[in-house]
Amino acid sequence: MRARAGIAWLFDPGAGTIVTFCQSGLRNSVAAPALRRTSSDIIEIDGSYAGWARWSTAQAFPTSL
């Protein structure tokens, strides 16, 4: 794991799909296109970290059965 300029990542280009996000979406809007230029398979999380946190909470605590 590496951290630089407020961005942390673990990058293994041969590992498959890369999921990107940051707290507000600003850094991700720079990082994801740069990674796409390397021909990597990139998925950006909608809503960035806050969106992931909402999704994660919903998975852990379903509202209906």
In the chain, which ranges are continuous DSSP H helix? Answer: 26-36, 48-60
- Please identify which residue in the block is written with the tokens 């946190």: 53
Report field, pTM of the whole predicted structure over 0.75: no
The tokens for 58 are 């919903």
Read off the pLDDT of residues 3-60 as tens digits, 9 standing for 90 and up: 454 555 566 656 678 888 888 888 888 888 888 887 778 888 887 888 888 888 888 7
- pLDDT for position 63: 67
**Is residue 20 packed enough to be buried (19+ CB in 10 Å), middle (13-18) or exposed (0-12)?**
buried
- pLDDT for position 22: 83
Of 34, 28, 38, 24, the closest CA to residue 8 belongs to: 28
- pLDDT for position 44: 84
